[in-house]
Amino acid sequence: MDEALRLYQQQFVRDSRPPQVASDTDSPMRFGTPLTPDDTADVMAWHRARAFSHYAQDLGLGPEFVFQLTNALARDMHDGRLDGLANGEPITVSGPTGGVFHMEDADQALRFSQARAGTLHENVARLVDGAASPDLRRRLELMSLDLTDFDWLRMQRSQGISTTETHLAANDLPALPRLPELVDEDGNPTDRVARYTLRAMMDVDVTINAPGESWVTPMYRYNALQLPPVIRARRGDEMFVTLVNDLPAASTVHWHGFKLPGSEDGGPADPVAPGSSRLYHFTLDQPAASLWFHPHPHPGTAEQVYQGLAGVLLLTDQVEQQLRRDSRIPAEEHDIPLLIQDRLFDAESAGVRELVYSSEQMAGFGMMGNVVLVNGAELPRLAVETRQYVLRLYNASNSRTYDFALHDGQQFSLVGSDGGWLPSPVEVDNVVLSPGERSAIVIDFAAYRPGDQVMLISRPFMGGAAMGMSRFHASGGTEGMHGGMVGGHHGREPYLPGEGQDIMRFDVDRAVVDDVRLYAGLPEAAVIHDRLSEQDATADRLFVMSWGHGMDGFLINGKQYSPDRIDEQVTPGAIEIWEIVNVSPMPHPFHPHAIQWQVLDRSRESPAGAERGWKDTVLVRPGESVRLIGKFEPVNSGEYVYHCHILEHEDAGMMGIFRVGP
Ligand code: C2O
Ligand code: CU
Ligand code: CU
């Protein structure tokens, strides 16, 4: 429902100027009463950002202009009044081609869109349920709404239900693989020092297990392992990790979500040449969390991750250990990392399916696969007892966003975000994860009986374009995708952005008595209790994500990544507010290195769900603005990057550099 509402909002903003059909006798205005600006300042801000980016697009103005518009918008929003004035002065913006915008001029269009919003709100449900009468549909079409988007969503939902039924009955699903754990090479697993070697290798023959079949795919892997490894560490551990680069290209190990000095961060500024190696040395000092690591060479991050390089680091601490001892969270054997990655496999030849990679896949959406792997297997099954399990969902896909849910709509508890345990569990029936994000959830299988099967699915949702997704789904996307690069591909087509899938199945096989009473609140010692306060922030920064055209058009603050430019200078130890605004027509997960953040608000609304915890990656949808607050720690010094975690966007330059300290 939220998704449908969002779709609806995006659609009417596209037409935020009165359409031609509007006339005195048949004006869409008659369907509703304009909302009063007083109580809708937030809504207005949102629409205004959208409207302005589209005005600029319609006039053929470049992304720098959109950026200026958004900047002006931010100024306008500052006094809480969207009146086109800043300190009583009219705001105008002049574009590079000489066009001038007067910020006040959008007001008429704005009121118009609000009228549409107020009226149509309740009709969205009917559209998605297919319960809109022909007359209603006709009236909605008069308002220039593209109803095929809603139809697509409805069709997806019903198709999803029937494939899920097939998969629930299938008896040939592969078992869920356990990710291999690396062993501390210093021979002493209990001291506070740990040594590991990660040898990045190519052409490792990986066996992929899928329902009723398996095949071999040559991939990149660390240490020639079949699957991405897991490293377990405790808060306070001193880590010595050596990367040996056996790839024919430069690589790095980036520690995603870690609080580290810039020199150990493994970012694009520190490539490790082919054939050489380097040591990463750092001490882990942050709360227990589901962290991960992956290569980060520029511009080769997307391809190296896609080919198979990534790993999980499970950091534990005393708070978590105590919760386990007190049976307030499930034991370690019932706590399972799930690495979720989609891949596009070519047709089989002699038992081998090559990975297909093209960085320009999907007309700018990034690389999308035709198979979703969970710990390296397609649609695996896991036998479970009637107890609670922690599942640590890692979206380690290059570009795909998932909307995870159980097929029967059963609720589960959200217990962890990117940076650690949530202050208290949140009951939900879905969790959206964009690339780079993690969520820990607790599913209580006591709600089921032995013999029951439950499917973890990704629900169909509008894949993210601000408008006309159905047209993309119907033609443009797939055509662009298969027209050239993947022309010879005979297997299944890639899943479209937002297309639903079955992810894995839980087979309830044994009744047990669960002694875990899930924690209701973290102990006082947990650092998550510290809400950072806006008053303590010493800097406010704005990051505007925009898209002009083609793969060169992915920009932050109107700029493409340059290794020679420091974009932001941060004072050591500072508390800062970073506001991320997306004026592009597709969603982008924003990820700054170095620290963990708290979400202050999302388009002026207080954070919900996993965003009540620590985050290092946040999804910013078209038209949204997300404000983050974070504290740079004493360990933070040197250079880091922030970027979109759609890895194809990052490689295309949707990245910037910030420097902490001199
Ligand atoms: Cu997951 Cu810059 O990283
Ligand atoms: Cu990172
Ligand atoms: Cu992006």
Instruction: Show the 3-state SS of 179-230.
Output: CCECCCCCCCCCCCEEEEEEEEEEEEEEEEEECCEEEEEEEEEECCCCCCCE
621 lines ligand 1 (CB under 6 A): no
436 lines ligand 1 (CB under 6 A): yes
Nearest ligand to residue 256 Cα = 2
For residue 6, pLDDT over 80 is answered with no
CA distance 354 to 314: 31
Nearest ligand to residue 435 Cα = 1
State the Cα angle at 292 between 453 and 608, rounded to 5°. 65
Q: Which two tokens stand for residue 162?
A: 């029937």
pLDDT band at 26, cuts 50/70/90? very low
Q: Minimal CA–CA distance to 660: which of 643, 638, 642, 641?
A: 638
SS3 56: helix
Q: Is 75 left (phi over 0), alpha (psi -120 to 50) or beta?
A: alpha
- Among 5-14, 159-168, 616-625, top mean pLDDT goes to 159-168
pLDDT exceeding 90 applies to what percent of the chain? 59
User: 661 or 110: whose pLDDT is higher?
Assistant: 661
Question: Among 11-20, 117-126, 465-474, 501-510, which is the least confidently predicted range?
Answer: 11-20
Q: Are 160 and 457 in contact (CB under 8 A)?
A: yes
User: 518 or 623: whose pLDDT is higher?
Assistant: 518
pLDDT exceeding 70 applies to what percent of the chain? 74
User: 584 or 186: whose pLDDT is higher?
Assistant: 186
**607 CA to centre of ligand 2 in angstroms:** 22
Tell me the angle at which helices 63-78 and 41-58 cross, rounded to the nearest 10 degrees.
160
**621 CA to centre of ligand 3 in angstroms:** 10
User: 115 or 220: whose pLDDT is higher?
Assistant: 220
Tell me the angle at which helices 2-14 and 107-120 cross, rounded to the nearest 10 degrees.
150
Tell me the angle at which helices 2-14 and 41-58 cross, rounded to the nearest 10 degrees.
50
User: 156 or 101: whose pLDDT is higher?
Assistant: 156
User: 559 or 68: whose pLDDT is higher?
Assistant: 559
Nearest ligand to residue 365 Cα = 3
Q: Are 318 and 287 in contact (CB under 8 A)?
A: no
Q: Are 375 and 227 in contact (CB under 8 A)?
A: yes
Which atom number of ligand 1 is nearest to the Cα of residue 650? 2
CA distance 459 to 408: 11
For residue 183, pLDDT over 80 is answered with yes
**351 CA to centre of ligand 2 in angstroms:** 36
| Average pLDDT, integer, range 490-518 | 89
Which atom number of ligand 1 is nearest to the Cα of residue 617? 1
State the Cα angle at 651 between 650 and 653, rounded to 5°. 70
CA distance 65 to 58: 12
User: 232 or 3: whose pLDDT is higher?
Assistant: 232
The predicted structure's pLDDT at residue 466: 42
Q: Which two tokens stand for residue 143?
A: 């308002």
- Radius of gyration, CA atoms only, the chain: 25
DSSP secondary structure, 159-183, as one string? HHHHHHHHHHH-S-PPBPPPPPBPP
User: 428 or 482: whose pLDDT is higher?
Assistant: 428
| Average pLDDT, integer, range 545-560 | 78
The predicted structure's pLDDT at residue 343: 96
| Average pLDDT, integer, range 223-241 | 98
The chain-wide mean pLDDT, for the chain, equals 82
The predicted structure's pLDDT at residue 189: 81
| Average pLDDT, integer, range 530-550 | 85
- CA quadruple 608, 609, 613, 619: dihedral, nearest 10: -80
**301 CA to centre of ligand 2 in angstroms:** 11
Q: Minimal CA–CA distance to 589: which of 528, 520, 531, 647?
A: 647
For residue 425, pLDDT over 80 is answered with yes
CA distance 359 to 653: 13
**287 CA to centre of ligand 2 in angstroms:** 17
**593 CA to centre of ligand 1 in angstroms:** 7
The predicted structure's pLDDT at residue 420: 96
298 lines ligand 1 (CB under 6 A): no
| Average pLDDT, integer, range 191-210 | 97
User: 110 or 151: whose pLDDT is higher?
Assistant: 151
Residues with CB under 5 A from ligand 3 (ion): 588, 644, 646, 649
What's the gap between Cα 222 and its chain centre? Answer: 25
For residue 501, pLDDT over 80 is answered with yes
Nearest ligand to residue 643 Cα = 1
Tally of CB atoms within 10 A around 635? 19
pLDDT band at 30, cuts 50/70/90? very low
259 lines ligand 1 (CB under 6 A): no
SS3 579: strand
The predicted structure's pLDDT at residue 39: 32
The predicted structure's pLDDT at residue 204: 98
CA distance 576 to 183: 38
Which atom number of ligand 1 is nearest to the Cα of residue 641? 2
The predicted structure's pLDDT at residue 594: 97
**36 CA to centre of ligand 2 in angstroms:** 43
Q: Which CATH architecture has domain 527-660?
A: Sandwich (2.60)
User: 583 or 451: whose pLDDT is higher?
Assistant: 451
Counts of helices then strands in the chain (DSSP H, E) = 12, 34
593 lines ligand 1 (CB under 6 A): yes
For residue 297, pLDDT over 90 is answered with yes
Long-range contacts from 471-479, C-beta under 8 angstroms, 24+ separation: 471/146, 471/148, 472/363, 472/496, 473/152, 474/148, 474/152, 476/363, 477/362, 477/363, 477/365
Q: Looking up tokens 């605004």, which residue turns up?
A: 581
CA distance 27 to 43: 22
| Average pLDDT, integer, range 618-641 | 92
SS3 493: coil
**460 CA to centre of ligand 1 in angstroms:** 26
Strands (E), 418-516: 420-428, 431-433, 438-444, 453-458, 501-510
For residue 442, pLDDT over 70 is answered with yes
CA distance 215 to 53: 47
591 lines ligand 1 (CB under 6 A): yes
Residue range(s) occupied by CATH 2.60.40.420 in the chain: 527-660
Which atom number of ligand 1 is nearest to the Cα of residue 436? 1
256 lines ligand 1 (CB under 6 A): yes
The predicted structure's pLDDT at residue 353: 96
Which atom number of ligand 1 is nearest to the Cα of residue 257? 1
User: Which residue's CA is the nearest one to ligand 1's atom 1?
Assistant: 256
User: 112 or 104: whose pLDDT is higher?
Assistant: 104
User: Which residue's CA is the nearest one to ligand 1's atom 3?
Assistant: 256
Q: Are 381 and 391 in contact (CB under 8 A)?
A: no
For residue 619, pLDDT over 80 is answered with yes
CA distance 604 to 450: 45
| Average pLDDT, integer, range 488-512 | 83
SS3 637: coil
For residue 64, pLDDT over 90 is answered with no
Q: Looking up tokens 């302005």, which residue turns up?
A: 52
Q: Minimal CA–CA distance to 558: which of 73, 100, 71?
A: 71
Q: Tell me the whole-structure pTM to 2 decimals.
A: 0.84
CA distance 176 to 373: 10
CA distance 103 to 92: 6
Terminal Cα distance for the chain, rounded: 48
| Average pLDDT, integer, range 110-115 | 42
For residue 106, pLDDT over 60 is answered with no
**524 CA to centre of ligand 1 in angstroms:** 31
**645 CA to centre of ligand 1 in angstroms:** 6
User: 121 or 39: whose pLDDT is higher?
Assistant: 121
For residue 481, pLDDT over 80 is answered with no
643 lines ligand 1 (CB under 6 A): yes
Question: Among 216-230, 461-475, 632-646, which is the least confidently predicted range?
Answer: 461-475
Residue 121's identity, in one-letter code, is H
